[in-house]
Amino acid sequence: MENCWDFVEWLGSDTSSSVFLLLGDPADVVRASAVSKSWRRFVIGNGFCKKICLTICPELANFTHVIEVGASVEAGDVGSSSAVEWKNLEKEHRVYSYLSHCLVSPAAKMAFPIKAICASSTDNYPDESIDNTLYEGEQVGMRPSYWSSKGKGDPLVPETLTYRLSSKLCAIDEIRIRPFRAFFQPGFPIYSAKAVQFRICFSRLPLEEGTGTAVHDNNWDYVSPEFPMAQENTLQTFKLPRPFVCIGGELQVQLLGRVQLQEEDNLYYICVCHVQVVGRLLGPVFDAEIPNTMGNLVLKYFPDARGCSTPPEGGPSEEPSESSTPHTYLQRLVQLGIGVRVNQVSLGDLLTNIPFDEFDDDIDSDGTMSD
């Protein structure tokens, strides 16, 4: 048929790759791969799902190997090197398309269980220890529940609270902190900080549990911006600029600056009632194999567990649908404000003459076109 083009071939590999990478939503890339077999080969062969996933969360580059685990996973075929390479590319496409969907999914977030490790100082241990920040109320039984720093004459002296995440693999979206109101003191003063900052690291060396500080200086994998903290007795939410995937790691809350003077000793204190870490658990579908020493991390994917963690309705599917056509794909590009013009021929002109059924060609196991 005359004047029938595949715009990926027409634009060329480099320009087409630039267009695909402008799709920030991983679901759009998966839908593009369902337009035709030739597009699917192009998307998988260039690893677009993995590239977009790493754009969302660059720390995922720490995973140097991906493993699929489960009864439904087919055993690797023995064949030519190109066939084996294509199988690996298909596997990465499946894994990273679903992982990126989990990271941007509007599914309800939840508070993760955390374990208190240490505080930079504690005024009255154990009554005012960091362990108290794990409980939501400002009272447990008949006693006030909070952590308190030691008093300082300089209001600029910071404090830190360090926690270990109980989940091995999770995406952190926000941290919530409730400053403590001393309801037993005149005027009910609130001992908040001026600002807060968060540092996150993967588990590499153990921290010494107790009231002391960490036994080593962590190489922090993420440091957030500083957020102002209100002097209010409320659970305040501090949303990170992007989700951060934490691999069996630690979270350190940096409390910057003091605002409340205690009349009894004329010293500044910071007191925290409760700390929450909120985001998305990536298990049981995903897990991380963490070596005992510094080394390569392995991402494990359990496709059979997807029923235990059902994605929201409308999530990406790898199967072609009626809406996965070049024309609906073009509409998505227009919505994103992507204008592509090659040799004065617009992308819309190219797609206008594309018969969808012309793309139904067969693909061999190594990704090549069959005759």
Give pLDDT tens digits for 108-147. Answer: 789 989 999 999 999 999 999 999 999 998 888 889 999 9
Residue 162 has pLDDT above 80, yes or no: yes
**Of all helices (H) and strands (E), which one includes residue 69?**
none
Maximum mean pLDDT: which of 12-21, 165-174, 225-234, 325-334: 225-234
Amino acid 301 reads Y
- The residue length of the chain stands at 371
Long-range contacts of 287-296 (CB under 8 A, 24+ apart): 287/168, 287/169, 288/63, 288/168, 288/169, 288/247, 288/248, 289/67, 290/168, 290/202, 290/203, 290/247, 290/248, 294/204, 296/64, 296/65
Give pLDDT tens digits for 259-286. Answer: 999 999 999 999 999 999 999 989 889 9
Cis ω for the linkage preceding 144 (within 30 of 0): no
- CA–CA dist 17, 1 (Å, integer): 26
Of the candidates 165, 176, 109, 178, the one whose C-alpha atom is nearest the C-alpha of residue 137 is: 178
Percent of the chain residues topping a pLDDT of 70: 72
Strand, coil or helix: 136? coil
Prediction pTM value: 0.74
Residue 206 has pLDDT above 90, yes or no: no
Instruction: Give the count of beta carbons closer than 10 Å to the beta carbon of residue 101.
Output: 21
Query: What pLDDT shows up at residue 292?
Result: 56
Query: What pLDDT shows up at residue 34?
Result: 84
